[in-house]
Amino acid sequence: MTDAPPSTVLADETAYSEAVQLAVDSSAAYYADGTSTLDDDAYDRLVRGIEAYEREHPDQVLPQSPTGKVAGGAVVGDVPHTVPMLSLDNVFGAEQLADWAASLERRIGRPVTAWCVEPKLDGLAISARYQRGRLIQLVTRGDGVAGEDVSHAMGTIVGLPDRLADAVTVELRGEVMMTAAQFEEACAKRQAHDGTTFANPRSAAAGTLRTRERPYVCELTFFGYGALPALDDTSELAEGLRTWPHGKVMGWVAAQGVQTTGATAVAGVVVATLEEVQSRVEEIAAARATLEFGIDGIVVKCDLATDQAVAGFSSRAPRWAVAYKLPATEKITKLLAVEWNTGRTGVIAPRAVLEPVELDGSIVTYATLHNVADIARRGLMLGDSVTVYKAGDVIPRVEAPVVHLRTGDEQPIAIPSVCPSCGDAIDTSQERWRCVRGRACRAITSISYAAGRDQLDIEGLADNRIQQMLDAGLISDFADLFYLTREQLLGLERMGAVSTDNLLTAFERAKAQPLSRVFCALGVRGTGRSMSRRIARHFATMQAIRDADALAIQQVEGIGPEKAPVVVAELEELAPLIDKLVAAGVNMTEPGVSGVSSPDSVAPSEELPLAGMSVVVTGAMSGPLEELSRNEVNALIERAGGRASSSVSTKTSLLVAGEKAGSKRSKAESLGIRIITPEEFATQVSAFL
């Protein structure tokens, strides 16, 4: 995590004045209906530039400047808040966080011994007012002093009950947002209504919350983050809400039936040291890409009410809390073109060509568009300003067009009428279009994939050699490799006796690969390396897999009712290829599985050392595991009866932690999960190495 990204440089008073107006206009649009000419990162950079200019030219500060104001000073409301709803100051890295904490401790005159660390939700702050346990009013943050009444949205917000568990009068504060599923549903409804979509979940939530009359209803989600008693309430509960630690307040909120982040992977925690704060920050940041709702940072605050009271407030923010901002995962850029590519299974996939934009620490020029139906649903056009989303290692995707930025010069996206690879017809019967030639369209790609290290591991079979064989008519799929003769290979250009013999030896070795690798080499849509291992261990033989119907396929962990029929259909399509592999003598059983005879078979599955365990591997491997790739370690786990997983959760049984294990180790420790070294793990599964 890095410190603050650069700010917008303002050269003179004119540039400063224009920047202030742009910031105010953008903020007003952002808080009104979620639309803006700037994405969050661009707005933050602009405001930091304004702040820098004002520090150097204090005599030129404009009264409408957004600095030092809640919501940039652009929003007003007519419902007064009982207690101001303020913004948060920002920090952008560990060093700035440490500086802020040191300044806070100097202010309160003692060390902070309890820090609360929570996700910063990317939504709209609202106040939910309850009277004797019944929800009576919803108010937006507005300018922090007064907000807008949005009580018409009551009944459409998940996590915000109409009645609390107790008949109490209280004000709950929290964030209204849309989950990924709610956003997709909202876009579909808007598309059906007027042919447009929302730009992103936040704008969808903002527009939905404020719109009083709309022919369709969109669902929202609420997460509570605080509770306030009435100012004149002297009850025991009111006194508790004023004096309890923040963590205890949130426990009470959850007990009332209000949704909090407590049940999510980024639940708020209370820790004692700044080192633990930073560790939790990193854990939440790492989990960001897996969440069904958006976060743009982490809130760090004093947990104790006494510390909060001493620290007090500035004009726009509490001094006892700060937002640790994360790198932007969403930006606005231009959709310049759409490229159409045919994959190894014949699926035709569009790819967006973008005006380069920095996103989540890297420059993005391409993004996925999924399929033709997805383009139509989102109403995309060439030349559109589009929101592009990326989190963690996830491939960037185009979220939606920013409709209010259209100029009229945008053009429809040309949809191919024939396969862009071979020119043959396209099968459009399913949502994912496919060349009618299927895998034969990109034979070199599917054969190269099958021969890869994690599949059949055929050493020495380069793409140019595969192309030679295809051009010579010696092969049409990877099963044909096992029927090649020495004379045929020697007849290829630049193919000598030694190279030929080495390649034939590699073919023979490939025949002995376990079923899991053979199945993976088939490239069945909807499966990959991990899923292939699970399928192989579940069925033990290729014949058992081929005999299985969709219901039987669903018994494999991770395969649901939508994917199972696809797997069955794929296997039917691949039947001639599988028959050729069987006839060539390729292994069709999984070693180590109960009921399968093999030199490597050591025990029935229920007796395997990792039987029923979910195992996560993190950090650099050492000892006997040092030379293994991560995929080979995962294969080792599953040979020993376990299930390899990439993320730590309450379902994790064991964490194998090497050097630089990072946040996964911290999370495992917090959950009480057993942690062992690579050497200890190697000893435990030595029979399978």
Instruction: Name the residues annotated as catalytic.
Output: 120
Element (H, E) at 220: strand 220-229
Neighbours of 514 (CB within 10 A): 24
DSSP track, 139-161: EE-TTSSEE-B-GGGTTSEET--
Single-letter amino acid, residue 686: S
**Beta carbons of 86 and 317 less than 8 angstroms apart:** yes
b/e 121-137 (16+ beta carbons within 10 angstroms → b): bbbbbbbbbbeebebee
Single-letter amino acid, residue 631: N
HSE, side-chain direction, 13 A CA sphere, residue 154? 17
Distance CA(588)–CA(378), nearest Å, equals 44
Three-state DSSP class for residue 313? strand
Single-letter amino acid, residue 285: A
**Beta carbons of 16 and 57 less than 8 angstroms apart:** yes
Is residue 469 left, alpha or beta, with left meaning phi > 0 and alpha meaning psi from -120 to 50?
A: alpha
DSSP letter, residue 347: B
Distance CA(16)–CA(577), nearest Å, equals 68
**Beta carbons of 298 and 118 less than 8 angstroms apart:** yes
DSSP letter, residue 176: E
Single-letter amino acid, residue 639: R
**Beta carbons of 601 and 644 less than 8 angstroms apart:** no
Phi, psi of 68 (to 5 degrees): 75, 15
**Beta carbons of 456 and 518 less than 8 angstroms apart:** yes
Distances (CA, A) of 45 to 23, 41, 97, 238: 10, 6, 19, 41
Distance CA(411)–CA(429), nearest Å, equals 26
Tokens of residue 126, six digits:
């609202």
* CA angle centred on 532, ends 527 and 536, rounded to 5°: 140
Tokens of residue 391, six digits:
């989190």
**Beta carbons of 171 and 128 less than 8 angstroms apart:** yes
